[in-house]
Amino acid sequence: MYRWIPYAFVRIAILYGAGIILGIQFPNRIHTTTIVLALVLLVTGFIACVIRRRGKSLLAGLLAALALIWAGMLNVCLTDESSDEHHLTHLTHTVSGFRVVVHSAAQDRPRTCKYEVAVDEVLVNGSWRPAFSRALLYIKKDSLSRRYEYGDVLLVQGSPRRIAAPQNPGEFDMRKFQSYRQVYFQSITSPRHVQQVGHAPPSRVKEWAITARLWAEGVIGKYIKGERENAIASAFVLGVTDGLDNDLMNAYAATGAMHVLSVSGLHVGIVYWLLMLIFKPLAGDRTRWLLLTVSLVVLWSYAFVTGISASVLRAVVMFSFAAIARAWNYKMNVYNILAATACLLLVLDPFMILSVGFQLSFVAVVGIVAIQPALYRLWEPTGWLWDEIWKVCAVSIAAQIATLPLCLYYFHQFPNYFLLTNLFIVPGSFLVLILGIFLLALSLVDTAAHLVGWLLERLIELLNVLIFAVERLPWSVIGNIFITPLQCGILAALLLVVWIWVEGRSRTSLAAGLMLCAAFSMASWVHTFESRSPRIAVYAVPGSTAVDLIANNVTSYIGSPDLPNHLRQLGPNRIALRGADRVVSLEGVPVQPGCDLYVWQGHRIVRVHSPIHDLADSCGADLVIISNNAVTDLRRFSRSVVAKCYVIDSSNDRAATAQLIQQAEQLPLRLHSVLQQGALDLRL
């Protein structure tokens, strides 16, 4: 039987996190003042129970639980900047310019430099007025472009635009993702429309941290010449992933090695382990405070050099708690340390709970702590080498099991050879990190730095060769997996129940597991049944025609032949509707030059792709797709082709599209413009 008493912070984290999720999912449903009053009443009631010596009563526990939930909801309300009346989202006037403060180092893109900025003033009708919001500023690269630094104050001509909602079904929702980071606007501008007027860093500590990270990037770039090797070294040591190309990212993702490309618990754990190893001869009661001081200084110095990124911050806070507990000779409960770390981070930023990195890092560590010991006990090797190999395997399997629901939900794939990959990538990342730290430390000694840099480059080159070799193995990855949020939750609960059953062998957990299996099967059946109904999707792919006709797990494709199947605009919807595995091109019957007829599932679809005014013989259709500015007179064309719906796809330009929309309003006709309205998604 499991007792809750030793896991105080776990209870607090669960309840507080539940309140945060409620606050995020149901924003503005309850006024902030009401939440504050309710929280005060709950806390007062709990204190009254404690004073009456009923602190352990059911009523006291209920009041404390509700107080934690309301505290989470209150934190969401207070953190959400968009609720402020001076927020830029509430401004209704036309903005002709805005002033920003740069809040990040420049991030290189192929054609632009990206900055995270904070807007503090806007120019409206010739006068400046206060209005604030966080935004993304993209400055095009040309002969006038220059790099701005953290804290630079810039005047930008033009108006920031709201981040666009997803244009295609199933596409990643950048607007929602950035809103969790309090970023609501973006602006793409030319260097000639940007002027620096000052330098006022919001945080000197953050400025120094970014400067340290840029120095470290410069050292790595100086001594590691290979483009891919340089990018991997920056990712392994500093968590900087800007230089990674798509092939490299896909290879690491397909082989289950993606976790080493962002500095997280693995990297900080290696640093902490090195400290313990170095100071092991000095361990004792008299030196424990010295060891604590050195540990905290080294851990936070490493976080400082990496720019105090969110992933490093999570890991450093966790290991700082562990170091403090060790110094106090306190018997560490890993679950309480993880929960305390989560609580502290969520107090600072409640929206972090929806971060994929936050979820994966904590779930992976919990899985390693809970599952790895049981796995390791299944086999006790006699030789030292086999024992070390089995330890790595047990850790990898435990982490993979724990993160399985989240990985399937977010990434839609499973790396079959993750165990093989981790046998060399875990010790390899250990060596890369050690050599990287030595490279930074020896950067003042040029000869030694060149030697370490050469060794580091050769090691990374070997790791990349092995990663690509594993990726090329047959059936290296199971792709196109789709589970709903409900299925993800059921699968996570099922894994938890199975672990409880393995530990305690209780009939209750076995019954709960069987019920969860039935629930997962039913949810899968419902989704499969819904996805089998015929669907037509006309996607928003800039400058291209892309139409999917999906039925019975088969995708019939109409459009530009050079678009890849996994394109971000097409892939998610195909995966969700289980049509990603079989994609075939649908051949049309030419009605006349520039116009093709497709018959699918009893529906007639006409696509006009070359200039045409009318047809020699009129015809009827369920759907007409207009491409490449092929129709200029919709009134005349609609007499020849009578359809239930006319669709202007994204291969048309905006001027021609606007003209056709105006004509359709006068007729009237049912018209859908993909450029203005996003993709058309029809269930037949």
Dump pLDDT digits (tens) for 241-262: 777 788 888 888 888 887 777 7
Query: Which residues face 135 on adjacent strands?
Result: 117, 185
Structural domain contains residue 1:
no
The residue to which tokens 């020849």 are assigned: 640
What region, left, alpha or beta, does residue 72 occupy, with left being phi > 0 and alpha being psi -120 to 50 degrees? alpha
Contacts of residue 256, Cβ cutoff 8 Å, sequence gap at least 6: 400, 415, 417, 418, 421, 422
What region, left, alpha or beta, does residue 247 occupy, with left being phi > 0 and alpha being psi -120 to 50 degrees? alpha
CB 588 within 8 A of CB 596: yes
Claim to verify: residue 555 and residue 653 sit in the same structural domain = yes
CATH code, domain carrying 116: 2.40.50.730
pLDDT digit string, tens, across residues 316-328: 888 888 888 777 7
Domains in the chain: how many in total? 5
Q: Answer with the one of 79, 111, 142 that is the final residue of a domain.
A: 79
Report how far Cα 206 is from the mean position of its chain's Cα atoms: 23
Q: Answer with the one of 174, 202, 230 that is the final residue of a domain.
A: 202
How confident is residue 493, by pLDDT bands cut at 50, 70 and 90?
very high
Quote the pTM value. Answer: 0.86
Q: Measure the CA–CA gap between 400 and 415, rounded to whole angstroms.
A: 10
**Averaged over 181-190, what is the pLDDT?**
93
Q: Answer with the one of 449, 478, 507 that is the final residue of a domain.
A: 478
User: For 569, what's the count of Cα atoms within 13 Å in the CB-facing half-sphere?
Assistant: 23
pLDDT digit string, tens, across residues 568-625: 888 889 888 888 888 899 888 888 888 899 999 889 999 998 887 666 667 788 899 9
Give alpha helix (H) positions in 26-168: 32-51, 58-79
Q: Measure the CA–CA gap between 223 and 226, rounded to whole angstroms.
A: 9
Is the alpha carbon torsion for 365, 369, 372, 376 positive or negative?
A: positive
Claim to verify: residue 285 and residue 303 sit in the same structural domain = yes
Helix or strand holding residue 98 (H, E)? strand 97-102
> Read out DSSP for 609-645?
-S--S--SS-EEEEEEEE-TT--S-HHHHHHHEEEEE
Claim to verify: residue 326 and residue 452 sit in the same structural domain = yes
How far CA 362 is from CA of 273, 311, 355, 403, 652, in Å, comes to 19, 11, 11, 9, 47
- Of all residues in the chain, what percent carry a pLDDT higher than 90? 34
Dihedrals phi, psi of 371, to nearest 5 degrees = -95, -35
Angle of CA points 652, 653, 658, to nearest 5°: 100
Claim to verify: residue 334 and residue 219 sit in the same structural domain = yes
Dihedrals phi, psi of 49, to nearest 5 degrees = -65, -40
Smallest Cα–Cα separation from 342: which of 325, 329, 355? Answer: 355
Report how far Cα 370 is from the mean position of its chain's Cα atoms: 25
Claim to verify: residue 586 and residue 671 sit in the same structural domain = yes
Instruction: With a cut of 60, say whether residue 4 has pLDDT above it.
Output: no
CB 134 within 8 A of CB 119: yes
Claim to verify: residue 316 and residue 378 sit in the same structural domain = yes
Dihedrals phi, psi of 53, to nearest 5 degrees = 60, 35
CB 98 within 8 A of CB 86: no
Q: What is residue 616's predicted lDDT score, i.e. its pLDDT? A: 61
- Residue 62 structural domain: 8-79
pLDDT digit string, tens, across residues 534-578: 899 999 999 899 999 998 889 999 988 888 777 788 888 988 888
Contacts of residue 584, Cβ cutoff 8 Å, sequence gap at least 6: 554, 555, 556, 557
Q: Encoding tokens for residue 129?
A: 């007025």
Structural domain contains residue 3:
no
Q: Encoding tokens for residue 677?
A: 């309205």
Structural domain contains residue 59:
yes
Angle of CA points 453, 455, 461, to nearest 5°: 100
pLDDT digit string, tens, across residues 279-296: 777 666 677 788 888 888
Q: Is 383 exposed, middle or buried (0-12, 13-18, 19+ CB in 10 A)?
A: exposed
CB 521 within 8 A of CB 549: no
Q: Measure the CA–CA gap between 206 and 268, rounded to whole angstroms.
A: 20
Claim to verify: residue 515 and residue 565 sit in the same structural domain = no
3-state SS class at 431: helix
Greatest CA separation for the chain: 97
Q: Measure the CA–CA gap between 165 and 162, rounded to whole angstroms.
A: 9
Claim to verify: residue 281 and residue 318 sit in the same structural domain = yes
How confident is residue 2, by pLDDT bands cut at 50, 70 and 90?
very low
Before 668, cis peptide (omega within 30)?
yes
Claim to verify: residue 591 and residue 508 sit in the same structural domain = no
Q: Measure the CA–CA gap between 238 and 258, rounded to whole angstroms.
A: 15
Structural domain contains residue 391:
yes
Claim to verify: residue 615 and residue 543 sit in the same structural domain = yes
3-state SS class at 331: coil
Q: Measure the CA–CA gap between 451 and 457, rounded to whole angstroms.
A: 10
Structural domain contains residue 671:
yes
Structural domain contains residue 338:
yes
Smallest Cα–Cα separation from 41: which of 10, 71, 14, 76? Answer: 71
pLDDT digit string, tens, across residues 113-164: 999 999 999 999 889 999 999 999 999 988 767 889 999 999 999 999 999 9
Claim to verify: residue 473 and residue 585 sit in the same structural domain = no
Structural domain contains residue 232:
yes
pLDDT digit string, tens, across residues 7-55: 788 889 999 999 999 999 888 777 888 888 989 998 898 888 888 765 5
Claim to verify: residue 34 and residue 95 sit in the same structural domain = no
User: For 56, what's the count of Cα atoms within 13 Å in the CB-facing half-sphere?
Assistant: 2
Q: Are strands 127-140 and 183-189 parallel, antiparallel or unpaired?
A: parallel
Q: Measure the CA–CA gap between 38 and 17, rounded to whole angstroms.
A: 18
